[in-house]
Amino acid sequence: MLNGNVLDGKALASKVRTEVKERVDAFISRHGRAPGLDVILVGENAASVVYTRNKEKAAKEVGIRGVLHTLAGATTEAELLKKIDQLNRDPNVDGILVQLPLPKHINEMRVLDAIDPGKDVDGFHPINAGLLSSGRPSLVPCTPMGCMRLLAEADVSLEGANAVVLGRSNIVGKPVAQLLLHKHATVTIAHSRTRDLPALCRTADVLVAAVGRAELVRRDWVKAGAVVIDVGINRVVREGKSVLVGDVLFEEVKEVARAITPVPGGVGPMTIAYLLSNTVDAAVARAAT
Ligand code: NDP
């Protein structure tokens, strides 16, 4: 999926979805039901409405029973917890995803902690985070899974490589660092207090940028021949138009990187593909118990 030195996440995501579809078909013939993914949306955040519809649609396209539960913005935390409890108990539900952000009156951590870890297809539950950090099988956050598949596809040898991860969030930075470590990379996690970020980045054979700062990473931050995975999604205005850019200045860094993901069309499509893959993993694991 390398186009010159550009890693085509859209094409790779389509390949992953085909693989998922084959696994869904096999699951259906073996168990007589489709894997189920239930997505909960609270309120009407415009971006979240689009994301959740896309997730439901993507699930259905590969044969997963995708259900979108749209709850009013005034839904209380107790009502949401009750809904999660109901889905936790439903044997036909394999994956539960609560779309973030939640309205301010709801405690996000309490809600995410209420999801059955075996159905936690976002991989955000502390049990799954703990299993990942112990190197044990778990449901792993989708974006980091997508990043690792992109690296695998670019045939990047990670053993002994210097990997620098920009960002330490529980959703991207920390889990991607864990996965790189499991592949025997030497991993450094950088954040907003890191000193001399450009110099640190120049040591990287593999650079994963997940900071949410438009085009922070410039050409002179990147070692020639490095592989660059850009997780960032930032909306900026260019020549009067609203456009999406990553955390990496693509046109500059493309000149020096051995491989680089574009924004859009890089990590983004991989995230949703791995949500589907996690749903099948959860279904298979639950069916085996
Ligand atoms: P968070 O805001 O949770 O974390 C950002 C991290 O970047 C923090 O650790 C922060 O440091 C660090 N950071 C911020 N500014 C700087 C800086 N100037 N220099 C160094 N480090 C900095 O973001 P997420 O991890 O949730 O997301 C990161 C980006 O990835 C966003 O653009 C988001 O939209 C995108 N994203 C894309 C996805 C996809 O599917 N492609 C999925 C998820 C996210 P500190 O901890 O010190 O504050």
The pLDDT of residue 272 is above 80: yes
Which of 215, 231, 247 is the pocket-test mutation for ligand 1 (most atoms within 8 Å of CB)?
231
Tokens of 103: 């309205």
pLDDT tens-digit readout, 14-34: 999 999 999 999 999 999 999
pLDDT tens-digit readout, 105-163: 999 999 999 999 999 999 999 999 999 999 999 999 999 999 999 999 999 999 999 99
Q: Which residues face 67 on adjacent strands?
A: 38
pLDDT tens-digit readout, 21-75: 999 999 999 999 999 999 999 999 999 999 999 999 999 999 999 999 999 999 9
Question: Above pLDDT 70, what percent of the chain?
Answer: 100
Helices marked H in 189-235: 197-201
Q: Same topology for domains 31-117 and 142-268, yes or no?
A: yes
DSSP at 39: E
pLDDT tens-digit readout, 82-93: 999 999 999 999
- Residue identified by tokens 């979240």 is 48
What is the 220 CA–ligand 1 centroid distance (Å)?
21
261, 150 contact by CB (below 8 A): yes
Q: In the CATH scheme, what is the homologous superfamily, with its name and number, of domain 142-268?
A: NAD(P)-binding Rossmann-like Domain (3.40.50.720)
The pLDDT of residue 1 is above 80: no
Residue 197 beta carbon below 6 angstroms from any ligand 1 atom: yes
Other C-beta atoms within 10 Å of 208: how many?
31
pLDDT tens-digit readout, 170-213: 999 999 999 999 999 999 999 999 999 999 999 999 999 999 99
- Each domain of the chain, given as residue ranges in start order, spans 31-117, 142-268
Helices 267-287 and 46-61, axial angle in degrees (round to 10) = 60
Cα torsion 49, 50, 53, 55: sign? negative
Residue 234 beta carbon below 6 angstroms from any ligand 1 atom: yes
Residue nearest to atom 39 of ligand 1 (CA): 268
Three-class DSSP category at 186: strand
Residue nearest to atom 40 of ligand 1 (CA): 268
| pLDDT on residue 289 | 85
What is the 143 CA–ligand 1 centroid distance (Å)?
12
Tokens of 259: 């491989």
CA distance 265 to 177: 22
Domain 31-117 CATH (choose: 3.30.2270.10, 3.40.50.10860, 3.40.50.720, 3.30.1280.10): 3.40.50.10860
Nearest 10 degrees: CA dihedral of 129, 261, 274, 110? Answer: 40
Q: Which helix (H) or strand (E) holds 164?
A: strand 162-166
Residue nearest to atom 35 of ligand 1 (CA): 232
CA distance 235 to 221: 22
Nearest to 144 by CA among 160, 159, 134, 133: 133
Indicate the pTM of the whole model.
0.97
Which of 172, 188, 197 is the pocket-test mutation for ligand 1 (most atoms within 8 Å of CB)?
172
Nearest to 246 by CA among 220, 209, 274, 271: 209
CA distance 117 to 95: 10
